[in-house]
A and B are shown apart, each in its own frame.
Chain A
Amino acid sequence: MPARNVDRTKRIIMPFDTIITALKGRFADLATSEFRDNRRVVVAPAQLFDVLKSLQEEHGFDLLFEMTAADYLKYPNAVDRFGVVYGLLNTVTGERVFVKTVLNEPDLTLPSAFSLWKGADWLEREIYDMYGILFDGHPDLRRILMPEAFAGHPLRKDYPLRGRGERHNFPVITRANS
């Protein structure tokens, strides 16, 4: 591999396990899991912003490469309704970490990551559009892919697949009555 001229002076490079230990020391109730090469940190919504901020500022995870959500309404043995996943990348070491949090009705609000990454702007708008999850502190939380007058959030599992003839009158299911 050719040598690369990367400015490493400004970065703190730590092995992944050290990062996890450091995070666990600061935040209680932090769970970790691993699958293939995906390493996940599961946090409560209340701690989410601080964990993200800590990962960005202290551990060099400077790129938010992915942010998505999933509706676990019909997932086998799931207890929580929504999961929101943040994928962070350290552009110097190439390490990735996923921060996951779960949400339940009626409080579908998360702190916005826009103040940390401007790239979170459209990603959060898409999650709001598709799942109806609100991001507190987002500068312009509007629908992005669906028309503004659209009712419902199409990627929720209680939203019908076919739409035509169904989308105006479908039963809304919540975790409580599922």
Chain B
Amino acid sequence: MPLEALDTLPDGPEKDYLWTLNFGPQHPATHTTLRLILTLDGETVVKAVPDIGFLHSGFEKLGEDLDFNQYVTIVDRMNYISPIANEIAWHHVVEKLMGIDLTPRCKYIRTILAELARISDHLLCTGAQALDLGAFTAFLYGFQQREVIYDIYETISGQRFHPSYTRVGGLLYDVTEEFVRKVRSFVQEFPATHADMCRLLNRNRIFVERTQGIGVLSKELAINLSCTGPIARASGVVRDLRKDEPYLAYGELQNTFKVICATDGDSYTRYLVRMEEMLESLKIIAAAIENLPAGAVNVDVDSKVVFPAQTSVYRTIESMIQHFELVMPNRQWTPPLDEVYGAIESPNGELGFYIVSDGTGVAYRARTRPPSYIHFATFPYLIEGHQLSDVVAVLGSLNIIAAELDR
């Protein structure tokens, strides 16, 4: 977006002292491929124009070709820092479209995984924000705990990075005792790492001075620019879908967590909000893992939306037919002929999908509401008037994931 700032300058040789710096697309502080065209007055940023699309891979076009279960492997690759949150969001909307009510066990498992994803995402964001400002250690501490979360993903699905674990009406497999054990030990051990990171950064003079008062987003601007999630909450917008529109097990776990809000709206506040949110997530995980309901993980097989168990597919003709019906491209699910928007509170903000259904098992239109895309649009407003070295401080606090940005 061209800011009005440049237009107010007089034309002619007076403008000549402004110079243009090309930041990215390959730059260590952009982490992925995005480009900024900065107009600078000395070291002060007068105008920033983001240039994106380097990682555009047509995810939404693929969503119009792959069925509801197949597309989960693609949404995995949007925000690959917290892939399971994308899967949960996608199937949340598909299930909303079809009117499927999940089993209590599935709701709890998905809630635990969504919160693990939030911790994993916030660890990377806060760690990388510190890394960009020169604090390497906090980043490594964070990554060590992210490895533990990857181990948990591996336990449930066999895949560390892109679990593709959710399915329409349930999950790929039920979780095992080992999952419960690993989550319990994570709940035990994580606070120590969190405290280490806080001690390294919260009062670190370099970190604080480089982030406090930098990239201030006012509440009015946050709302006007469609911000959601930790970025909006750091600016005083009290919105959290987990409280406001409870989904999965959040309604039942309502009293175990608080919504973290702040009013300063600068990079440091966004960092603090994310750090505190991790502890709230941990409380949700602790409550959910101890109250994990027994029972089936998938909805009733007679609803014809889930695959029957493998043994019954081999042994009974009804199950075999049902399995067959769900994999044949001309059969599959029969959702209503309508369109629906649904969203979850992903680590980055409201992650929504808008599905237009033509009554088949493949979405006619599978729109993603990508929080990274919407938050990156705020960047020119945030960086205006700051120094060149503040670019990384602001960029790090927005947690832009280019795969989700460009899709």
Contacts and interface: CB of A to CB of B under 8 A. Distances in A.
Interface of A: 1-2, 4-6, 35-36, 38, 62-66, 68, 70-71, 74-76, 85, 87, 91, 94, 98, 117-119, 121-123, 126, 130, 139-140, 143-147, 154-155, 159, 161, 163
B337 interface: yes
A145 B56 contact: yes
Interface stretch (B83-91, B121-129, B166-174, B236-244): B236-244
Contact of A91 (B237, B339, B374): B237
B367 A68 contact: yes
B53 A147 contact: yes
B238 A4 contact: yes
Contact of B243 (A1, A74, A119): A1
Given A62-B224, A71-B365, 16 more contacts: A35-B336, A36-B97, A66-B341, A68-B367, A76-B359, A91-B237, A98-B341, A119-B377, A121-B377, A123-B226, A140-B2, A145-B52, A154-B58, A159-B61, A161-B64, A161-B65
A144 to B, nearest CB: 6
B41 interface: no
B61 A65 contact: no
Contacts of B365: 70-71
B96 interface: yes
Contacts of B374: 119, 122-123
Contacts of A71: 365
Contact of B1 (A94, A139, A147): A139
Nearest to B228: A65
Contacts of B337: 76
A6 B52 contact: no
Contacts of A75: 356, 358, 364
Nearest to A76: B358
A117 B226 contact: yes
B245 interface: yes
B406 interface: yes
B31 interface: no
Q: Which 9 A-B pairs have the closest CB atoms?
A: A119-B226, A145-B53, A70-B365, A122-B377, A145-B56, A68-B367, A119-B225, A35-B338, A94-B244
A119 B56 contact: no
11 contacts: A6-B238, A36-B96, A36-B342, A38-B339, A65-B343, A68-B369, A75-B358, A118-B221, A122-B374, A123-B374, A161-B64
Of the candidates B61, B227, B238, B358, the one having the most CB atoms from chain A within 10 angstroms of its own CB is B61
Give the contact-size bracket for chain B: 35 or more
A147 B56 CA distance: 10
B389 interface: no
Nearest to A34: B338
Contacts, number: 114
Interface in B328-344: 336-343
B139 interface: no
A37 B190 CA distance: 37
Nearest to B226: A119
A138 to B, nearest CB: 10
Given A1-B243, A38-B340, A94-B245, A85 B354 contact: yes
B381 to A, nearest CB: 8
Given A38-B340, A161-B61, A65 B350 contact: yes
B239 A91 contact: yes
Contacts of B325: none
A4 to B, nearest CB: 5
B223 A1 contact: no
B83 to A, nearest CB: 21
Contacts of B182: none
Given A2-B258, A145-B56, A118 B224 contact: yes
B60 interface: yes
A144 B52 contact: yes
A62 B339 CA distance: 23
Nearest to A120: B226
B373 interface: yes
B352 interface: yes
Among A4, A65, A76, A87, max chain B CB count under 10 A is at: A65
Nearest to B3: A139
Contacts of B377: 119, 121-122
Contacts of B61: 154-155, 159, 161
A74 B64 CA distance: 12
Contacts of A4: 238
Given A155-B61, A161-B65, A146 B226 contact: no
A87 B369 CA distance: 11
Contacts of A62: 223-224
